[in-house]
Amino acid sequence: MLSRDGRHKNGSFRRRISCAAVLPYALLLTAVTLIATASTPCHAENVVVLLSANAPAYRDAVKGFEKSTHHKVIATYDLKGERDPGAAKKVFEKILTEDKPDLIYAVGIYALRAAVQTKTSTPVVYSMVLNPPSILAANQDNITGASMNVSPEQTLQTLKSLIPGLQRVGTIYANDTTGFLIREAQQAAEKLGITLLAKPIDGPGDAIKAINEFKDAKLDALWLVPDNACLAPRVVERLLDVSYRLKVPVVGISKSQAQLGTTLSLCFASSEDIGQQAGELANLILSGKDAASVPFTMARKTSLVVNLRAAKKMGISVPESIIAQADEVIR
């Protein structure tokens, strides 16, 4: 049908239909573009990696870091196990003056110590370190990272799963090294309705004396913390001896300790995942968060070893739920 000017009356109608059909697709395309823009970093910052040594676990941590961060690793330095603080510090200073990175990723204890010894505002994220608060200086607010420590709450919860009526847990520790861990454990114990009897020690000799005092403490379990003063062979041997005499389980921190006779061991399971945690922290800092406001993390992937032989000797029946969770069972 023609209009007065000779054009089809339904022409404008067809144009309206066409516009209506295209509009949803146009809106969808715009939305997708906006989402993609929001999820894509506008600018990748420069990161330098400092390895304590060229060890497989450290390389795995770097692999995890690179997986989880969109920022660019521009250089990697290897301290080659260098224990001399002065030599390690020189490498760190060279990174600051020559590479001028936006962030340094320090892998392992020697790399972290080099960062601690060097005064700089450049943020540092570490990984593959045990008990990092014992290494950091009180006023170093440019450093955070991903530790190898297992959460005390997870350790106590695992013990409680083994012994549902768990009430009293004993441990020894050196305040300068693992005092931070015990303070966190006390909070977790209170939440779980457990009394934590934690005895501070000054060294292996003091540790033997503290362990002997556990004989009359009416404990339900013992916890071996990652502290050099507590991990001397004679200290571990004495703790296991008391454990068998009292018929109470010990939770250790490594597979080798479970093989020696601890009922359970709980430790970090993946160097790569710890590296991923470090990468996530780096993303937060390089997106504008102050390193001082980003707390260090503990291992989120853990490995549980259950020693059924040790449990049997103490008359402990290990629940099937614990065995099902175990990464390894010693029978």
Can you give the CATH number for the domain in which 96 is found? 3.40.50.2300
Domain co-membership, 137 together with 199: no
Q: Please indicate, yes or no, whether residues 63 and 126 belong to a single structural domain of this protein.
A: yes
User: Is the Cβ–Cβ distance between 178 and 227 less than 8 Å?
Assistant: yes
Q: Which of 159, 118, 153 is CA-nearest to residue 136?
A: 118
Q: Say how many domains are in the chain.
A: 3
- State phi, psi for 106 to the nearest 5 degrees: -100, 120
CB contact set of 225 (below 8 Å; sequence gap of 6+): 171, 172, 173, 178, 181, 182, 253
Question: What is the residue type of 250?
Answer: V
Identify the band that residue 33 occupies on the pLDDT scale cut at 50, 70 and 90.
very low
Q: State mean pLDDT over 105-110.
A: 98
| 82 lies in the same domain as 16 | no
| pLDDT value of residue 150 | 98
Domain match, 231 and 322 both: yes
Please tell me whether residues 70 and 111 are part of one structural domain.
yes
- pLDDT at position 205 is 86
- pLDDT for residue 38: 42
Domain region containing 107: 46-149+271-293
Pick from 114, 149, 117, 146: which is nearest to 131 by CA? 149
State pTM to two decimals. 0.85
Same domain, residue pair 311 and 216: yes
Q: At what angle do helices 85-94 and 109-117 cross, to 10 degrees?
A: 70
Residues 84 and 222 in one domain: no
100-114, 126-140, 142-156, 281-295: least confidently modelled range: 126-140
Asked if residue 43 has pLDDT above 80, the reply is: no
* Three-state DSSP state, 2: strand
The pLDDT value recorded for residue 140 is 87
Give yes or no: residues 66 and 3 share one domain.
no
Residues 67, 85, single domain; the answer is: yes
Whether residues 282 and 184 fall in one domain: no
Q: Is there a single domain that holds both residue 18 and residue 53? A: no
- Band (pLDDT 50/70/90 cuts) for residue 307 is very high
Taking 60 as the threshold, does the pLDDT of residue 36 lie above it?
A: no
Is the model's pLDDT at 289 over the cut of 80? yes
96, 163: one domain: no
Query: Is it the case that residue 14 has pLDDT exceeding 50?
Result: no
